[in-house]
Amino acid sequence: MFRSASLATGGMICDSSRPRYTAPMLKLNPTQYNATICSKLTRPGSTTSCPAVSGSSTSHRTSSAAMVSSDKGLVDQRAQGLQFVVESSRFDEKSLDKASYPTVQAFVEDNAMHKAREVASRLGRQADIIIAADTVIHLPSGQIMEKPVDAADATAMMRSHSGASHQVTSGVALGVRGPDDHYEFSTFHETATVTFAKLSEDEIAAYVATGDGMDKAGGYGIQSTAAVLIESIQGDYYTIVGLPVHQLSHRLANVVSTRSDV
- pLDDT per residue over 104-156, tens digit each? 999 999 999 999 999 889 888 887 888 888 899 999 888 889 889 999 999 99
Q: What dihedral do alpha carbons 245, 249, 255, 258 form, nearest 10°?
A: -150
Q: Map residue 69 onto helix, strand or coil.
A: strand
Main-chain phi, psi angles of 190, to 5 degrees: -135, 145
For residue 100, give every residue at least 6 positions away whose Cβ sits within 8 Å of its Cβ, in sequence order, or none: none
Contact of 121 with 98, CB cutoff 8 Å = no
Half-sphere exposure (Cβ direction) of 226: Cα atoms closer than 13 Å: 29
Distance CA 139, CA 191 (A): 12
Q: Map residue 52 onto helix, strand or coil.
A: coil
pLDDT tens per residue across span 76-103: 333 233 344 567 889 988 898 888 999 9
Contact of 223 with 168, CB cutoff 8 Å = no
**Residue 110 zone, left/alpha/beta (φ > 0; ψ -120 to 50; rest):** alpha
Query: Taking 90 as the threshold, does the pLDDT of residue 229 lie above it?
Result: yes
In angstroms, the Cα distances linking 137 to 30, 127, 145, 169 are 18, 30, 6, 7
pLDDT tens per residue across span 50-63: 322 222 222 233 44
Q: Out of 3.40.47.10, 3.90.950.10, 3.40.50.2300, 3.40.50.1820, which CATH number does the structure's domain 7-258 have?
A: 3.90.950.10
**134 catalytic per annotation:** yes
Q: Which of 71, 128, 134, 236 is catalytic?
A: 134
For residue 152, give every residue at least 6 positions away whose Cβ sits within 8 Å of its Cβ, in sequence order, or none: none
Query: Taking 50 as the threshold, does the pLDDT of residue 42 lie above it?
Result: no
DSSP assigned state of 45: T
Q: pTM here?
A: 0.69
Distance CA 247, CA 254 (A): 11
In angstroms, the Cα distances linking 163 to 29, 168, 188, 215, 229 are 27, 17, 30, 22, 10
Between 64 and 213, the more confident residue is 213
pLDDT band at 66 (very low <50, low <70, confident <90, very high): low
